């Protein structure tokens, strides 16, 4: 496993390339979450709290199993529970561990600074009310850098969360999908959405054709075209136009020159004044 | 300065001048901090404001301040900026304007067509920048809007900010180009020749003794 995970791959607020010589030749990492194996025990939530020293407020019961009710600056991962009545009339309990998907093409990074929330296609980052800074899952980069798996992976009692190279995780997912298909889930599949360049947190879903069933997992997530336009074409075009406007002014001054009031104009004014008074 | 001095015609009173320069200085600060947040290549401009977070904190407050300051200025200048037929003729002859051929242009009142268009461009830009800025003011207001509205707000804010910056560059250049204009806004007066040349209808109004503003 590559240990250079703390090398910065991409940064916001710069147009210059990041150091790129060292690549992940042994494969990029990925976390695979098998929703079909998840029992909703929330051990991953607890492990995340422990490792990252996070303590969310003790909330109130909102009538379902989700607790806390939403991701927050203190809760970087959250089990979401959805009840789905399948066409056969059976109830399926679809449990999904929500959190940062670690997109290959991250909308949050594109929209930085301060607008990561508007950039994220998965609605993940949260801004702290205390320090006004954004927080979300780090994929336990501090653990991964020293060869450990993320805390949530370590804690999972059923092996629903696994961590390794993206290629290994994809292969592992295929085995799981085959198994699920043989058990009657013909639409089982891997969630690794291409619209954001793939993600480094992937799901095995029983109903990969309907990701929305899993507490609104987006079907075809992509960076919003508004954000794309705002952070894409407008930037260089607008700067160019601003510089061009100033340059046209400069050229006009050099080419045509200033508009000066001379003695003739003063004379004209004097004559007109005399005429009227 | 005395407005009775025959060599000087008062164009802007002290209060208007001070108001103008409060708006102008706020605008420069807003443009610099806005551009710093707009393009990575200009992020270094945040150093002028105490770093990235401080730039982000200060920008919206300066923005609100400028809107209020402009409101006062705009109310004062509104009446002289309504577009008239002669302004459209003036605008159609923009070729004569940029080539300094005043003799081909219709008589101009206190403001010419270009100045009036600029005035309304500023009003439209501010009318869009203020609400879009509030929507993307994360600390206090963004939580009240859906993420799609925030995205649209961010795009609209960048767009109208850009239009305003271009408009103000034109405004500043016009001041450099037409000699005597900067003095009108710093010292408050112009020569009769300047008024006669650039704003003849206004010149007549003033010299006829019709009440000056």
Do the Cβ atoms of B169 and A230 come within 8 Å?
Answer: no
| Burial A182-200, CB ≥16 within 10 A → b, else e | eeebeebbbbbbeebebbb
B53-94 per-position pLDDT tens digit: 899 999 999 999 999 999 999 999 999 999 999 999 999 999
Q: Shortest CA distance to A97 belongs to which of A120, A65, A119?
A: A65
Closest Cα in chain B, distance from residue A170 (Å): 32
Point out the residue among A245, A253, A261 whose CB comes nearest to the CB of B180: A261
- Most B CBs within 10 A among A10, A71, A261, A266, hence the mutation to make, goes to A261
**A205 phi-psi bin (left φ>0, alpha ψ -120 to 50, beta other):** beta
Which two tokens mark A207? Answer: 């109903």
Point out the residue among A226, A241, A273 whose CB comes nearest to the CB of B155: A226
Do the Cβ atoms of A252 and B98 come within 8 Å?
Answer: yes
Q: What's domain A4-223's architecture?
A: 2-Layer Sandwich (3.30)
Point out the residue among A224, A253, A258 whose CB comes nearest to the CB of B151: A224
Distance, CA of B101 to CA of B141 (rounded, Å) = 51
Question: Residues of chain B whose pLDDT is less than 50?
Answer: 1-3, 210-213
Closest Cα in chain A, distance from residue B50 (Å): 15
Distance, CA of A188 to CA of A223 (rounded, Å) = 25
B123 assigned to some structural domain: yes
Do the Cβ atoms of B207 and A252 come within 8 Å?
Answer: no
CATH number at B19 reads 1.20.950.20
The structural domain count of chain B equals 1
**Cα maximum dimension of chain B:** 61
Question: Residues of chain A whose pLDDT is less than 70?
Answer: 1-7, 114, 277
A59-97 per-position pLDDT tens digit: 888 888 898 999 999 999 999 999 999 999 999 999 999
Q: Measured in Å, how far apart are chain A's first and last C-alpha atoms?
A: 94
Size of interface A-B (CB pairs under 8 A): 140
B84 assigned to some structural domain: no
B171 is catalytic: yes
pLDDT of residue B63: 97
Do the Cβ atoms of B177 and A252 come within 8 Å?
Answer: yes
Give the structural domain span for B151: 13-79+112-207
> Chain B residues with CB inside 8 Å of A235's CB?
38-39
CB A145 within 8 A of CB A6: yes
Do the Cβ atoms of A235 and B38 come within 8 Å?
Answer: yes
Q: Is B201 exposed, middle or buried (0-12, 13-18, 19+ CB in 10 A)?
A: middle
Do the Cβ atoms of A224 and B148 come within 8 Å?
Answer: yes
pLDDT of residue A7: 67
pLDDT of residue B213: 41
**pTM of structure:** 0.84
pLDDT of residue A11: 80
Point out the residue among A12, A132, A229 whose CB comes nearest to the CB of B139: A132
Nearest chain A residue to B203 by CA distance is A269
pLDDT of residue A59: 85
Closest Cα in chain A, distance from residue B57 (Å): 10
Do the Cβ atoms of A249 and B176 come within 8 Å?
Answer: yes
Closest Cα in chain A, distance from residue B89 (Å): 20
């Amino acid at each position: 496993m590559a240990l250079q995970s703390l090398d910065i791959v991409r940064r916001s607020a710069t147009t210059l390339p990041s150091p790129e010589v060292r690549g992940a030749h042994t494969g990029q990492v990925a976390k695979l979450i098998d929703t079909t194996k998840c029992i909703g025990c929330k051990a991953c939530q607890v492990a995340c709290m422990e490792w990252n020293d996070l303590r969310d407020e003790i909330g109130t019961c909102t009538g379902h199993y989700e607790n806390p009710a939403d991701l927050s600056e203190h809760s970087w991962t959250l089990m979401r529970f959805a009840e789905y009545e399948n066409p056969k009339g059976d109830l399926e309990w679809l449990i999904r561990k929500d959190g940062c998907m670690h997109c290959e093409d991250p909308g949050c990074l594109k929209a930085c600074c301060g607008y990561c929330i508007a950039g994220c296609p998965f609605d993940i980052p949260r801004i702290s009310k205390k320090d006004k800074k954004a927080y979300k899952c780090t994929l336990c980069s501090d653990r991964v850098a020293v060869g450990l798996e993320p805390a949530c992976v370590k804690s999972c009692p059923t092996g629903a969360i696994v961590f390794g190279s993206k290629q290994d995780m994809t292969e592992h997912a295929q085995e799981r999908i085959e198994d699920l298909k043989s058990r009657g889930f013909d639409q089982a599949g891997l969630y690794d959405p291409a619209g954001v360049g793939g993600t480094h947190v992937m799901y095995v879903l029983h109903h990969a054709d309907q990701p929305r069933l899993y507490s609104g997992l987006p079907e075809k997530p992509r960076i919003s075209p508004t954000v794309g336009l705002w952070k894409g074409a407008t930037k260089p075009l607008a700067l160019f136009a601003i510089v061009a406007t100033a340059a046209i002014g400069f050229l006009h001054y050099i080419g045509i020159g200033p508009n000066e009031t001379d003695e003739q104009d003063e004379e004209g004014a004097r004559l007109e004044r005399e005429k009227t008074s | 300065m005395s407005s009775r001095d025959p060599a000087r015609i008062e164009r802007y009173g002290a209060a208007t001048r001070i108001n103008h320069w409060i708006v102008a200085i706020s605008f420069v600060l807003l443009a610099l901090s806005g551009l710093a947040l707009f393009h990575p290549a200009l992020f270094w401009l945040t150093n002028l404001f105490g770093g990235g977070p401080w730039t982000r904190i200060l920008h919206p407050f300066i923005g609100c301040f400028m809107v209020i300051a402009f409101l006062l200025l705009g109310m004062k200048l509104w009446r002289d900026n309504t577009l008239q037929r002669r302004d459209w003729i003036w605008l159609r002859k923009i070729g004569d304007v940029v080539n300094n051929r005043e003799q081909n242009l219709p008589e101009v009142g206190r403001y010419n067509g270009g100045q009036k268009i600029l005035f309304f461009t500023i009003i439209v830009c501010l009318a869009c920048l203020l609400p879009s800025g509030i929507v993307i003011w994360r600390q206090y207001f963004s939580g009240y809007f859906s993420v799609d509205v925030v995205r649209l707000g961010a795009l609209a804010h960048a767009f109208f900010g850009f239009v305003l910056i271009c408009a103000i560059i034109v405004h500043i250049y016009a001041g450099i180009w037409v000699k005597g204009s900067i003095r009108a806004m710093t010292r408050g007066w112009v020569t009769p020749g300047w008024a006669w040349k650039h704003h003849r209808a206004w010149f007549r109004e003033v010299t006829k003794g019709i009440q000056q503003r």
